[in-house]
Each structure stands twice: as C-alpha cells, then as structure tokens.
Amino acid sequence: MNSFKAIVTDLDGTLLNSESKVGVLDTETLIRLKHKGLIIIIATGRSIFSFKRVIPEGFPADWLIFDAGAGIMDLKTGELFFSSFMTRQEVREIAAKLTELQLDFQIRNRIPDSHLYFYKKFGSFNPDFDRINEIYKAYNRELESIDELSESSRIISIASDDGIVDIIEKEFSEYSIIRATSPVDYKSVWMEIYPKGINKGSALRLLCSELNLKLSEVIGFGNDYNDVHFLDIVGDAYLVSNSPEALTGNYKKTASNNDNPLNEILKGFSVGS
C-alpha cells in the first residue's frame, strides 16, 4: 500500500451520511490514523457556523477549509489561518448584474460571519432557495437596496436546473466560479462566486505549503463538482459512489457516503514517516 501523511475530505455527501452524521467506522478510522500522526483536513462548502452544527467539538480533524476555500481554520486553536473576500464595489456590481438577470441570490457576509447573508428572490418557484432561507431565517434578511451591501466572502445563486451554469460562467468570468450540488435537496444547482483563484484546491495548496507537506503525500475524498480542485492535485483521489455521473469516470471509487467510504480505503493504508 502507498504511504501518506494527510487526508483531505469533503463533508456533505462524502464524510456525512444522509442523516448528516459521520459513520461509526469512518470516525474510528480517523481516530486511529490521527493517533498515528495523520493530518486530517476537512474541505467543505459550509461556513464555520454551519460546520459546527454537524461536527461536534473534539472530532478527530486538524484543519478546516471552509466556504469552498475562502477560509482556512486551525481546528486545534480555533484561529483563522486564511480568509478572502470581495470588495464592496465588486459585491455591488455582482448584485446589480444578478438583479438584471433576475437570478435568485445570496450575498454572504465576510468571514468569519459568512452564515449571515442578504438574499434576493425573483421567481415564484425555487424550493431549495426557500428551504435554505427557512433553515437560516434567524441569520438572513431580504435585500432592499444594493447600497446595503459591503464586503462578501461569496455570492451564491441557486436554481433548480443546469440552465444557470452557462449564464454565471459567462457573466462573471473574472471571478472564481464554483458549481456545487445542493447539500439540502441534493439536486438543485448552486453557482458560487468567489475572488479570483479561490477554491478548495488553492486553499489546500496554501495549507500544505504552510505544513511542509507535499501534495503527493495527501489522499483525497470527494463527491461533487466543488471537490475536483483538490482531487486533481492530491497524490491519490477517490469519489464516493453517490457522486454525479459526469464525474465518476475521472477518479477511483469508494463506497457511498452511507457506507463509511473513508474506512473502505484507509483501513489498508499506512501513515508516511
């Protein structure tokens, strides 16, 4: 078996099962490997606040890449290692264009408060957008004027089909555009706008440089479009079996997120010296 020194894993649809919990065998495997010196990195599209809603304190992980790479946190100390944002002018220009396009959107606050957001909805049918707003109703507010907007960690437009993809990629090509499948209904399309160069892969590069880790010494697990940026640069990459069909031909396979996918692979690996 190959040796490695770190693991990076996505959260929703990968490490978390359909009940938003980590499987018992996956947890036991991570505890065992952490005790042997493995560096465990979670890379998620969730905010810090949202991450803490599903992962208990003391979980066997060392670093958190969150907001799909817009931020990095040391989980041992709770300190922010890195964060990025778009300026007030950029945010207002993007919001104006999304308004012109009549696309439902959220403007997330600057890290560490990226669970707080303004939203704007134009159409009558967008159940996933409505569901997110309901879940976080204590933390959002409908946008009345673009003048209310300031700096932002990311801007999210949500739609029920792929029609949004080409529009967002064309209109905002000067930014980092990251596609994700909804972690709520697992089918709606989220198109997320970040500062240029921001994604889970760029965050992992930065973190590995800080830790004096080679990317070839990292093994990665993911399940969706926003994971490919780190899956494409690590030494060994796996997709869980519940991943979108368009991605499944590009990576090695492991079990579904409901069947302890990390344990299936990691039980046979050794930690590099």
Domains and CATH numbers, the chain: 3-84+198-271 (3.40.50.1000), 88-194 (3.30.1240.10)
Q: E strand or H helix at 181, and its extent?
A: strand 176-181
The per-type count for the chain, helices as H runs and strands as E runs, is 8, 16
Region of 233 on the Ramachandran plot (φ > 0 left; ψ -120 to 50 alpha; else beta): alpha
pLDDT score of 53: 95
Start-to-end CA span in the chain (Å): 14
Tell me what the pLDDT averaged over the chain comes to: 95
How much is the pTM?
0.95
CA 140 to CA 88: how far, in whole Å? 18
* pLDDT per position as a tens digit, 1-14: 457 999 999 999 99
Confidence label for 70 from pLDDT (cuts 50, 70 and 90): very high
State which amino acid sits at residue 108.
R
Confidence label for 184 from pLDDT (cuts 50, 70 and 90): confident
b vs e for 147-172, b when ≥16 Cβ sit within 10 Å of the residue's Cβ? eebeebbbbbbbbbeeebeeebeebb
Burial of 175 (0-12, 13-18, 19+ CB in 10 A): buried
